[in-house]
Structure 1
Amino acid sequence: MTTAFQRSESTKRRTLLKGAALAAGVPMVAGLAGGVAAGSAQAAESDQLPEFAPVPAGALGPAVNADGYYVGRIGGHLYWVTDGFYQAMFLTTVEGVVLVDAPPTIGGNLQRAIDDVTKDNGMPSKVTYMIYSHSHADHISAAGLFGKDVVRIAHTETRRLLKLERDPNRPLPTVTFDDHYVLEVGGERLELDYHGPNHTQDNIFIHAPTYQTLMVVDVLFPGWVPFKNLAITRDIPAWVKAHDIALDYSWKTLVGGHLGRLGVRADGELQKQYIADLDAALRDAMDTVDSTPFFAKYGPAGNGWAIFKTYLDAVIRQAAEPVTAKYTGILAAADVFTLDNASVLLESLRVDTGFLGKYGIHP
């Protein structure tokens, strides 16, 4: 039976998809797109947007259905759901569903995905437990859709951050932990670990050992380069370290929280190599880019910021160019975000590790 809530959510989903199609320059009928003139104007705007390299086929996940989501089995009673941009994971048990994260872009389709699965496996469809990977709204702000009688589990720091936010769409955790927590429900088991800051100061690792699956969000991006500014991470050294922590776990399947496919261990190793190559290229550029022209042009006016900007921009460009070339066609969006990723990694090298190239202290 389709409820009023489901009909409303479905209408909103179709509206969102139509808007996305318009934004992408996809032709639509005059009644939806505002007529031929509006379509022509949007096409003209689209023609002015930059061109990027094709997405490698291996980076793409399964096609979403007409409602805008895909749900698949990882193994046994463990499943994942995606809208092509975000991911969540859930475990069906005889005592209800354990949902890990609730991205708002998936929204009401989370319950639809759960219903799709439980109608076939005979398990209850009600979400009784929810785990927050971390506090960021883009991963958990559909949590409020599941009512108040849900046991919500998160790191202690997540609760502190959410108390500050006071966001009704992100209800406070009811159970918190500091280092390690084991959730055993309905004969199933999930292990939650905190290894210190990485993408955020509260981001945790969710391990399903029975199914050889690890969920860690905003660290590994299977098939793609990391999102802008190394996933908008503040503690870059801790984020880099998290790659090794993730690979120390025993797993065959990774739920990374973003984009349209699951990961395998080779994805983790490939991203590690991408970061290592970018690090090496930045160190080389810091040693080899000649800063003389920047001092000559801006130094007489005393514009120190102009000197720094133009010098650092030159270092970033020199470092990013070979890395972009190497990974284009291998990792999706290498030409989209490598320059941004090089920029934040350079700042981390300078201020976190003290690497200043030829401008550092040399014994």
Structure 2
Amino acid sequence: MFARLHLVLFSLLMLLGQYTFAVEQTSYKVENIKDNIYRFSAGHYHSAFMIVDKVALVTDPLNSDAAKYLKSYIKKTFNADIKYMVYSHSHVDHAMGGNELIDKNTTVVSHKFAADDLRLNKVPTALPDLTFSDTLTLNLGESYVVLNYYGPNNGRGNVSMRFMPANVLYVVDWIVLGRMPYKTS
């Protein structure tokens, strides 16, 4: 009897945990960070995007539902098409849903290690069209984003993104217990 009660309680907790996760993932929020830079939140996950004229550069799609929402939001609010989608790294909790976010004219960008891992792990998302090793600058008129790779971090190919001229730095999962995110050479 006692074991059966524990099993029922455990099952109930598992179901409630899944429900909480589902509810959290459907609460979306967009905040203006500075100038033409915005933060998109899906529960406790975040990505960033920049709007220049009628085009957008977006970072991590997060998941299929979040990506659909963000694409629709950008189109309705800014009447902008997504020119670039940039992966911060290859982990599925940030990279899923890329196919939902892009159009046929979107260039998908990542560090070469992140691209390798997305392919190797068969992540169901849009694969990168453009990769780089150390630094890449993506231009959108007078605004641009500088991508930098500093070496091993949380996942292979994890990069920083510096949105200019607003001078906003965007990084994902850089605080890893037991390690510091820096390059030693």
Aligned with 1:172 (options 98, 108, 127): 127
Q: List aligned pairs for 1:119-158, cutoff 5 A.
A: 124-145=79-100, 146-158=102-114
- Per-residue deviation, residues 111-166 of structure 1 (Å, max 9, x unmatched): 23323531xxxxx4211111110111110111101234311111111121122123
Equivalent in the alignment of 1:212: 167
- Residue identity over aligned pairs, in percent, reads 26
Q: How does 1:1-363 map to 2 (within 5 A)?
A: 45=12, 68-94=27-53, 96-104=55-63, 106-115=66-75, 117-118=77-78, 124-145=79-100, 146-167=102-123, 169-220=124-175, 230=177, 236=178, 240-242=179-181
Question: Which one has a larger percent helix, Structure 1 or Structure 2?
Answer: 1
In the superposition, relative to structure 1, how do residues 161 and 115 fare at CA in structure 2: closer, same or farther (>3 Å)? same
CA distance in 2, matches of 1:143, 1:186: 24
Distance in structure 2 (CA, Å) of the matches to 1:85 and 1:100: 16
Q: Which amino acid aligns with 1:150?
A: T
d(CA) in 2 for partners of 1:110, 1:93: 16
CA distance in 2, matches of 1:160, 1:45: 39
- Equivalences, count: 163
Q: Is the 8 A contact 1:99 1:129 kept in 2?
A: yes
User: TM-score, normalised to structure 2's length?
Assistant: 0.77
Deviant stretches of 4+, over 3 Å = none
What is the CA RMSD across the aligned residues, in angstroms?
2.5
The answer to whether the Cα contact below 8 Å between 2:53 and 2:80 also exists between their aligned partners in 1 is no
Contact 1:81–1:113 (8 Å) recurs in 2: no
Could you tell me how far apart the structure 2 residues matched to 1:203 and 1:92 are? 23
> Is the 1:95–1:185 contact (alpha carbons within 8 Å) kept by the matching residues of 2?
no
**1:280 corresponding residue in structure 2:** none
CA contact under 8 A between 2:137 and 2:147: conserved in structure 1? Answer: yes
User: What do residues 207-235 of structure 1 show as CA deviations (whole Å, max 9, x unaligned)?
Assistant: 12422321111124xxxxx7xxx4xxxxx
Larger radius of gyration: 1
Which secondary structure does the structure 1 equivalent of 2:43 belong to?
A: coil
Q: Does structure 2 conserve the Cα–Cα contact (< 8 Å) formed by 1:77 and 1:93? A: yes
Decide which structure has greater strand share.
Answer: 2
Residue identity opposite 1:204 in structure 2: V
- Distance change >3 Å, CA 148–CA 116, structure 1 → 2: closer
Between the aligned partners of 2:12 and 2:114, the Cα distance in structure 1 is 41
**Hey, what's the Cα distance between the residues in 1 that align with 2:157 and 2:169?**
17
Cα separation, partners in 2 of 1:176 and 1:45, compared to 1, 3 Å: closer
Conservation of the 8 A alpha-carbon contact between 1:101 and 1:132: yes
Match of 1:350 in 2: none
Separation in structure 2 between the aligned mates of residue 208 and residue 82 of structure 1, nearest angstrom: 18
Residues in 2 aligned to 1:182 and 1:78: alpha-carbon distance in whole angstroms: 16
In structure 1, distance between residues paired with 2:67 and 2:110: 20
2: CA distance between counterparts of 1:83 and 1:156?
Answer: 27
**Deviation of 1:45 (Å):** 4.4
Unaligned runs of 5+ in 2: 1-7, 17-23
Q: What is the rounded CA distance, in whole Å, between the counterparts of 1:132 and 1:73 in structure 2? A: 20
1-structure distance, mates of 2:145, 2:152 = 21
